[in-house]
Structures are given as structure tokens and as C-alpha cells.
């Protein structure tokens, strides 16, 4: 027995995708469909809702196996284009994290630092097909006697390269202001003194986890758009916090769920993995990510119909509070207000600044929709869903 | 009134001669020296803002060149490398003139070069480094 009027299985939805009959719409298009036709009719008619986001996602990186040399090497330190990669994995494996700046970067010694090249830029250059200078040091063993390697590598020639991002696609994020009297340079962008601007970073109604707030269709094995190719959700992301306070519709009011995602870097594209330099803060990488939500019933379609007016976040001070570990909200604001260009804060109009590209988020959702309509992309049924 | 910032390079044979004063005396131009130095190999460099009528300006620059002075236009403009822009919007936090603004409801970042004051704050505020300052390529006389 079930409480839903419409009940579809993953297998039924995939059968419709294979036969080219599936109805696929984006998370923006579904809003009016549910408004006009009601959730039951919408769930009957629509099979998949596609979401998308494109923004700097610091907790990203790639595992790279760079192949053996003669004589053999057990690398203990590795650099890619002079950016240090973690080499304590195995003989010729390393992990390049996107926030690692290149050696000799002046960092914040010349404040605010520019951070022009880091791990995210290495990954961007790799997927762009550029040659990367690899340098490795080793201490030498009986089975791996070589102590130094320097060579040029390209993504095509690397034996393996896997994007593995431990925390992506944050379900909601703070709206940042600066309440002190000097400019601060943060991972939330440049914040002018005395709350002269309010920065935010979410695709709002297009954002993956806003469209399935209780992760009813998302878990290990969910097939996604990642960096321009097919990837997978493999776990809940680090700092995943499903217990955040929520609205009646289940929308968390503070940063909540996160995703651990993986995919074959060799298939990805430089348009969707873009090295980022955050002034005064550090290096990062903007990641294009999209999740297709299978419409299993009217409850799921109702979640996907959420609009910016119903999505809220908290205003947080990054001038004093955040660096001092003070968790304090200066008010609740909707994404519709944030996207309008101004919010009312302490009785004054404050300019809002987005950090997450809605243009690119929409493009991700559209590409994903195209893949599914063409029958190239089937919905992955999770082995288990994320903790909720 | 025509006004431009110029970079003048004097070869070491000319570095000690009074040259720029004749721009005022003979060509009716005014100038404001922004920077001047004689470099270790004795060649001179001077950055000045030169103002006057367009005709006098042209004659003045011709005179400088006849004296062996290399004349270069120092004015810059900010351009957007369209391919690199991801339309995130970060630059709109620092742009003081509204030349960089989010176009709604599409949420496209629009760059109106006419409003740009060439403050260059966007160069380092842009995470994908899509903004660049470069010398204006328009001929200055």
C-alpha cells in the first residue's frame, strides 16, 4: 500500500528514456507546470527534472596515476606545474587538491594576494589538453630505486585521472556581509565595509539539493552531470548536516546537505572545470554539476517545484563574527530578494552580489535534459540514499 | 581640448637636452609630468599628460619624434575576454561605476565599457581572470 497517487519506478522511467518517450524539464520549467497542472498531473506527465549549478567548490580535486618509469619510482613528493600534490597514496599516484597554490606564490604577503595559479588551474589545464610539467622526488628503495622524475604529461597519456570531490553542491549557503569598517577579502568574495554589499552563492531554484531536500532520490550511484561528463554521487559529502532547521517544505535555512562526487576526468571539459582565483583568499575551482531528479511520485515533483521565493538563507557577518567562530544570523533573506539586486538590511538598500553563475547553472540543466532526451543518459538508482 | 597620457623615451644622447619645455613654448601645449627618471644606462623616461588643441598636439608629437624621442600612448582600457567570463557576478562587488552589472532576469553579467573608469579593481576580483587592462589601440593623433 502506498500513500501516493502516482508511483513510478526507476526501471519504468529508464524504459521511457530508452524508448525516447521520457518527458524531461528543468527545475525552472517545472515550477509553472506544477502551479498550473497540480502535482499529481505533473508527476503523471513528467519523468525527470534536471538541476544545475556552477560555482567555486573548494573541496575538489583529482586522483592521478602518472605511470611507471625505468628505473621504477616510489614518489614521496609530487608537483604538477609547480603545484604540490599529495603523494602519500602509492608509488606513482597522487591527489591534486584545487586549493593548493603553486610553490613560490606570494600568498597574502602582498595583501590581498592574487592566487593566480593553483590545483584548480592544473585540473583546468589538464582537461584543456595542455602539457603539464610533472616533478617527483623519491627516497629510493630496493624495488623503486629512482629518486627523481621530471616529465611532461597530458591528460590523454596519463594511465588514470579521476575527479574526486569530497564536498560539492552545498544545499544552501550563507549570505555574506561585512560589518567592520575595512574591506575584507573572503571565500565569499570582496566584502566592502559596513555592509556595502551582500554576497551569496547558490543557484537557488536550479540548485540540485534544493530540489530534493530530503535526498529521497540521491545517494550512492546517482548518475550526474559532473564537469561536462557523466559522474556519480558516491557518498554524502564532508560536513553533510541534514539536521539543519528547515521550512515546512523541507528547505534548510542554513548550509545543510553536501555531496561526495566522482567521475572520469578524461571525459570532462575545461568549460565545466574552471580554475578560480579568489582574491585575498586562495585558489579554487568552479565546478559544473547537475542532478536529474526522477519523478517517482507527486511528493517528489512537489519538491522540484520550489521557487526562489520559497528558498531562504541567513545573513552572516564575515568581518568580525565568522573569523571569530561566532554563529549569528542578522536576518533571513529569500533567493528571490537576493537575485533582485538589492536586499533591505538594517533599513538600508544593500547591493547583492552573486558568486554562483545562474547562466551556467541553467546551461547544465539544459545539457542534462538534452542527454536524457537523446537516451544517452539513464537515471542511476542509488544503492542507498544520503542520510537525511 | 585634446589630452592624452604619453610615455616618452629619450635615447641617452638626448636625455640631457631640454626638449619638453618647447612643447609649451612653440606648440602652445600644456603638460603635467607624472613621472620622470634617467635610467642606469643614461636613457630617460618620462610619463606626462599632454593637452592642447588636436592640431597642436599632433605637431608637438611630431616635434618630439624629430628629436629622437620615442612616443607611446599610455592610456589603458579594460576589456573582457568573453570566453573566460562565466557570468558569476563577483566583479559587480567592486565595480564603482556600474560598468559591470548583472542583467536581470537572465542574470547575465553585462560589461558597458563606456561606463568603465579603468580603475582595474575587476582584474583581480574576477575568479576566472576574464578582465584585462591593455593599451588602447586607437591611434592618438
Strands A83-90 and A184-186 turn out to be: unpaired
Residue numbers in B near A340 (CB within 8 A): 104
How do residues A290-329 score in pLDDT, each as one tens digit? Answer: 999 999 999 999 999 999 999 999 999 999 999 999 999 9
CB contact under 8 A, B127 and A351: no
How do residues A227-238 score in pLDDT, each as one tens digit? Answer: 999 999 999 999
Which candidate, A351, A28, A305, places its Cα nearest to that of A200? Answer: A351
DSSP B49: E
| B83 at A interface, C-beta within 8 A | no
Q: What percent of chain A has pLDDT over 90?
A: 99
CB contact under 8 A, B92 and A351: yes
DSSP B58: H
Residue B137 has pLDDT above 70, yes or no: no
Residue A195 neighbours by CB distance under 10 Å: 22
Rounded CA gap, A258 and A253, in Å? 14
| B108 at A interface, C-beta within 8 A | yes
Residue B37 neighbours by CB distance under 10 Å: 10
Can you give the pLDDT at residue A14? 98
Task: Look at residue B99 and give its three-state secondary structure.
Answer: coil
Tell which of B127, B129, B131 to mutate to test the A interface (max A CBs under 10 Å). Answer: B127
Report the complex ipTM: 0.94
Rounded CA gap, A218 and A209, in Å? 9
- Rounded to the nearest integer, the mean pLDDT of chain A is 97
Query: pTM to 2 decimals?
Result: 0.90
Residue numbers in B near A190 (CB within 8 A): 90, 93-94, 125
**Are B31 and B22 within 8 A, CB to CB?**
no
Place of cell 613654448: B25
Domains and CATH numbers, chain B: 2-73 (3.30.70.260), 76-135 (3.30.70.20)
Positions of A marked active-site:
143
Instruction: Name the residue with higher pLDDT: A141 or B139.
Output: A141
Residue numbers in B near A112 (CB within 8 A): 124
Instruction: Give residue limits of the domains in chain A.
Output: 1-374
How do residues A103-159 score in pLDDT, each as one tens digit? Answer: 999 999 999 999 999 999 999 999 999 999 999 999 999 999 999 999 999 999 999
**Are A224 and A378 within 8 A, CB to CB?**
no
Amino acid at each position: 500500500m502506498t500513500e501516493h497517487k502516482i508511483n513510478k519506478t526507476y526501471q519504468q522511467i529508464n524504459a521511457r528514456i530508452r524508448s525516447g518517450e521520457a518527458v524531461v524539464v528543468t527545475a525552472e520549467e517545472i515550477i509553472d507546470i506544477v502551479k498550473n497542472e497540480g502535482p499529481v498531473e505533473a508527476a503523471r506527465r513528467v519523468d525527470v527534472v534536471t538541476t544545475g549549478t556552477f560555482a567555486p567548490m573548494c573541496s575538489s580535486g583529482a586522483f592521478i596515476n602518472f605511470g611507471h618509469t625505468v628505473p621504477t619510482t616510489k614518489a614521496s613528493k609530487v608537483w604538477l606545474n609547480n603545484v604540490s600534490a599529495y603523494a602519500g597514496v602509492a608509488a606513482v599516484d597522487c591527489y591534486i587538491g584545487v586549493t593548493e597554490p603553486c610553490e613560490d606564490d606570494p600568498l597574502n604577503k602582498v595583501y590581498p594576494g592574487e592566487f593566480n595559479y593553483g590545483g584548480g588551474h592544473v585540473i583546468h589545464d589538464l582537461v584543456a589538453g595542455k602539457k603539464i610539467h610533472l616533478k617527483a622526488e623519491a627516497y629510493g628503495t630496493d624495488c623503486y630505486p629512482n629518486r627523481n622524475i621530471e616529465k611532461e604529461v597530458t591528460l590523454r597519456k596519463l594511465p588514470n585521472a579521476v575527479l574526486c570531490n569530497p564536498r560539492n553542491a552545498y544545499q544552501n549557503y550563507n549570505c555574506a556581509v561585512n560589518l567592520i569598517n575595512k574591506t575584507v577579502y573572503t571565500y565569499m568574495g570582496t566584502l566592502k565595509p559596513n555592509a556595502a554589499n551582500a554576497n551569496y552563492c547558490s543557484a537557488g531554484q536550479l540548485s540540485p539539493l534544493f530540489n530534493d531536500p530530503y535526498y529521497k532520490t540521491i545517494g550512492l550511484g546517482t548518475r550526474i552531470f559532473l564537469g561536462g561528463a557523466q559522474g556519480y554521487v558516491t557518498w554524502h559529502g564532508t560536513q553533510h548536516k541534514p539536521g539543519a532547521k528547515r521550512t515546512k517544505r523541507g528547505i534548510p535555512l542554513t548550509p545543510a546537505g553536501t555531496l561526495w562526487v566522482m567521475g572520469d576526468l578524461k571525459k570532462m571539459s575545461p568549460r565545466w572545470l574552471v580554475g578560480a582565483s579568489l582574491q585575498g583568499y586562495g585558489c579554487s575551482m568552479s565546478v559544473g554539476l547537475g542532478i536529474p531528479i526522477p519523478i517517482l511520485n507527486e511528493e517528489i515533483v512537489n519538491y522540484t517545484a520550489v521557487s526562489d521565493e520559497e528558498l531562504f538563507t541567513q545573513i552572516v557577518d564575515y568581518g568580525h563574527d565568522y573569523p571569530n567562530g561566532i554563529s549569528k544570523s542578522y536576518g533571513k533573506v529569500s533567493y528571490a530578494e537576493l537575485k533582485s539586486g538589492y536586499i533591505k538590511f538594517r533599513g538600508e538598500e544593500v547591493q547583492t552580489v552573486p558568486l554562483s553563475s545562474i547562466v551556467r547553472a541553467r546551461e547544465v540543466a539544459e545539457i542534462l535534459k538534452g542527454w536524457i532526451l537523446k537516451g544517452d543518459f539513464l537515471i542511476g538508482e542509488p544503492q542507498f540514499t544520503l542520510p537525511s | 581640448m585634446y589630452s592624452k597620457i604619453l610615455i616618452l623615451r629619450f635615447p641617452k644622447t638626448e636625455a640631457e637636452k631640454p626638449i619638453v619645455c618647447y612643447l609649451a613654448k612653440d606648440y602652445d601645449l600644456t603638460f603635467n609630468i607624472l613621472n620622470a627618471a634617467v635610467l642606469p644606462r643614461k636613457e630617460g623616461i618620462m610619463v606626462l599628460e599632454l593637452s592642447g588643441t588636436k592640431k597642436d598636439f599632433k605637431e608637438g608629437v611630431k616635434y618630439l619624434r624629430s628629436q629622437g624621442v620615442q612616443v607611446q600612448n599610455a592610456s589603458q582600457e579594460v576589456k573582457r575576454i568573453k570566453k573566460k567570463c562565466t557570468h558569476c557576478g563577483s566583479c559587480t562587488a567592486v565595480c564603482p561605476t556600474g560598468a559591470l552589472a548583472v542583467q536581470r532576469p537572465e542574470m547575465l553579467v553585462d560589461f558597458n565599457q563606456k561606463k568603465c573608469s579603468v580603475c582595474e579593481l575587476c582584474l583581480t576580483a574576477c575568479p576566472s581572470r576574464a578582465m584585462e587592462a591593455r593599451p588602447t589601440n586607437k591611434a592618438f593623433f
